[in-house]
Structure 1
Amino acid sequence: MFIDYLSVEQVYPFDLPKIADITIERYCSRTGERLSVSQPGVKYEGSHSTSISIRVDGRKLIIQGNPSAVDRLDNLFGYQTVEQCVAVYNRILANLRDEAGNPVHMPMLSKCTRLEFMQAPASRVIRKKREGASGTIQTVETTHRHTTVGDGMRITRIDLTTNRAVGQGNEFQYVSSLSTQRAGYKPGHLYEDGCTVDWQARDQYRKAYIKAKAIAKFLLPKARRNFGDDSPEVKYLRDLIFYCDANGVVRMEQELKREYLLREGLCWWGLFDESRFQTIHNAFLKIDDRLKVTAMDFETISDHLISEGVVKDVRAANTTAMYAINWMTGKAKFDFTKRSIQTHRARLRRIGIDIANPCDALKVRPVVHVASREVIPVDVLPIPTWYRRPNHLQVAA
């Protein structure tokens, strides 16, 4: 299991330094007291394919992005712990500079050591009543909302990822079969291209997609624009696409949102057991336990004539296949005294089609089923020796 995306925030007991020339300050109109100061967010360009968003809101620091993709061409294999991801963020904060190029000296992200409870006033509408054209009269009740406050970093979103190998050529059948299953109480939705299936819910978002297609669609075009077609970076990504194709890699991703993390007690870093992430992710990976996927290979009559060695070129195969298609309509009348008809009939008989007999539409199809195989997914994907692994960074405080 890897961490693909991480959104965190931390509130400090002091005002944070400015990272932008523009600030938004809020004052109380009655007392003149300054209530809060916020700044526009800045982006740290980690690589050509990702960026890290950093925002300061008064005393709150908010960081969002994909730490596993920082300073890398890809993130097929990423960081496995929150601590490794936070180390990437802390390195970025240590090197952060403002618009003038001066060091910002931003404080580091840290683990929570204690948790406190507080309550804040909250209002809710308990009754509505409409009276004529004057509008709606609302009865509002003032209550108190209970919340928790920690002295360290809070996780607001985390994406858990596993690379599942289903075998070369089996990816589309596997993704299509997953779309028939429910994740929790949500049905699967298969995209039009057949490469992605997802399950949308309010508290978490799950999806599975063909990794080779994703790299070819999103990463490879950017690398070609930035480095050129003959660059080592483009060659590396093409090798990665070939590797994913050869293993039939299907990416299983699970996004845990703020509501889910708060409900399950997984938001305050340092105050929960991180192995619970693996347990939650394993429950998602079991979505295919009741599923038996059989991948089938099909060939057209023309392809089958060539693969069986009946003909050697595509033109001859297409010509013979047209006789079979005309025969399937039931209206064709062949003169079997002609040499050409005899030749095409002899070719088709070698693949089990005899155009001298009446066509049975229930038994004959324009495509030929040539092989079937059971798809057995494997979650332990070997890392190739040439793969560019993420750097081992300094452990966060």
Structure 2
Amino acid sequence: MTLLQLAQPFGRPEARSADEPAKPGDVLVTRHQSFTGETAAPSEHPSDPPFFVDWLSLYQSHELDLPVIDDGQVIGVDTAGELVWKTCRKKRLAGSFETSVAIRCDGHTVTFEGNVSRFGRTNNLWGFSLTECIRRVNDLLAKLGLPPFTMGRKSWRPVKCHQGGSMLNTGDIQEQWTGARLTRIDLTANYGAGSIGDARAYMEWLATQQHSARVKVDTHADGETVDWGRGSRRIYAKCYLKSAELRRHGAPDDLVQYCDDQGVIRFELTLKSTQLIAMGCQYLGSLDMEQLELLFEERRAVMGRAEHTHDDLADLPNHLRRTARDYLAGDDIAARMKKVTFWRHRKGLLPYGLDIAVKRNVIDFKPRVRVIELRALAAPPWYEFDERKAA
């Protein structure tokens, strides 16, 4: 079955009454089939929880002669100097606040990748719905004289296999779409622990939680980031302290302070090409938001184990905590530390009721159960989604 002509641009499906006969390969866009959950034009506002979208990677081929947009070409030649292959390098499109995205067009296929919710903004503490992200990407493409990414139309083709040196039909059919194809999408949400102290204590505990036997947990940046599945070709998830990340990137002080006060923890779920194909969500037209929400909630479930054992030593500064734990475990601290370090640590621990100069400390540090309740955060009224200086 041949591919059909490209449909209307994304978010604006071609209207047709239920009584009108269907065209070959045409499909009505219903609330179930539409990944935005609506058939109206893209919203001007970000999506409600459970997530918004950060990074998008997608491409679409056209039967048109389009402007070539690249940053030069990379070629491969054989030993005789004959051209074997060539590919266009992605062109970086710069936005305000030292942000950029990558766009490439070889004359027929348009490729985009980048953090749409961050582009042209001082921060992406809150981002946009998938519908809004695609609208923003299409605005960028229009400025470059390129056609928009579309949902396209659905068609089916026979599934073939190799047998006896030839290709034979298996009798099965496979769905395909004429529009844009996704290779990566990042789903993101913010949660509040109530304070930066509770957020740090929560991250310490989270670092002990594996998602499953095959998906290992790991920590980075002195415990500020906890992730699962790093290097996976399918799914990668991570949690991190948002104030620390904003501070490193020079975000406004009031925004950093807000994240500290609220104890903001960011959860991000990256779905890569292999996972999108397995879910049947590799095409923009076939993307099922219900599946994405179910997977997001499944991977986020590890954050729901919010009750954990916490002892008073967790309140100590990081450089004193190990010394205190070793001392209470019976280690001879004075024998393994330099004198100057030993007395400096002793001075730092005295206000907490620990004197490591005493051979045995009679103070009993009993573990207690501490419950940290995470709550989904919505953007406060003062938060600006479209900053005046943004491109």
TM above 0.5, yes or no, is yes
CA contact (8 A) 2:225 2:240 kept: yes
The structural deviation recorded for 1:373 is: 4.0
Change beyond 3 A, Cα 1:152–1:279: same
Q: Which residue of 1 aligns with 2:115?
A: 66
The higher radius of gyration belongs to 1
Q: Which residue of 2 aligns with 1:264?
A: 279
CA distance in 1, matches of 2:362, 2:146: 73
The runs of 5 or more residues in structure 1 that have no matched partner are: 28-33, 97-104, 124-140, 221-233, 302-327, 332-347, 392-397
**TM-score when scaled to structure 1?**
0.64
- The letter for the 2-side match of 1:262 is I
Within a 5 Å distance, the mapping from 1:61-140 to structure 2 comes to: 61-80=110-129, 82-96=130-144, 105-117=145-157
> 1:361 matched to which residue of 2?
360
Aligned to 2:203: 175
Q: Secondary structure at the match of 1:69?
A: coil
Would the aligned equivalents of 1:56 and 1:62 in 2 still touch at CA under 8 Å? yes
How far does residue 251 in structure 1 lie from its aligned partner after superposition?
A: 0.5
Of 152, 171, 189, 1:162 maps to 189
One of 1, 16, 35 as aligned partner of 2:66: 16
Structure 1 residues 195 and 300, CA gap change in structure 2 (3 angstroms): closer
Fraction of identical pairs, as percent? 28
Q: Which amino acid aligns with 1:266?
A: C
Mapped to 1, the partners of 2:99 and 2:303 lie a distance apart of 31
Specify which of 229, 236, 240 is matched with residue 205 of structure 1.
236
Q: Alignment length, in residue pairs?
A: 297
Aligned equivalent of 2:91: 42
Distance in 2, Cα, partners of 1:50 & 1:186:
32
The C-alpha deviation readout for 1:5-34, integer Å capped at 9, x for no partner, is 11111111223222258567999xxxxxx9
Q: Matched residue of 2:146: which SS?
A: coil
Closer, same or farther in 2 for the Cα pair 1:378/1:271, shift >3 Å? same
Cα shift at 1:280: 1.2
Tell me the SS of whatever aligns to 2:288.
Answer: coil
Alpha-carbon separation, structure 1, partners of 2:63 and 2:333? 84
Q: 2:257 aligns with which of 200, 220, 242?
A: 242
Aligned amino acid, residue 363 of structure 1 = V
Unaligned 5+ residue runs, structure 2? 1-50, 78-82, 318-330, 335-349
Q: Which residue of 2 aligns with 1:223?
A: none
C-alpha RMSD of the superposition: 4.1
The 5 A counterparts of 1:341-356 are none
* Distance change (3 Å), C-alpha of 1:57 and 1:248: same
The answer to whether the aligner puts 1:3 opposite 2:34 as a matched pair is no
The alignment partner of 1:282 has SS state of helix
CA contact (8 A) 1:152 1:269 kept: yes
Q: Separation in 2 of the partners of 1:122 and 1:49?
A: 50
Counterparts of 1:152 and 1:73 in 2: how far apart (Å)?
Answer: 32
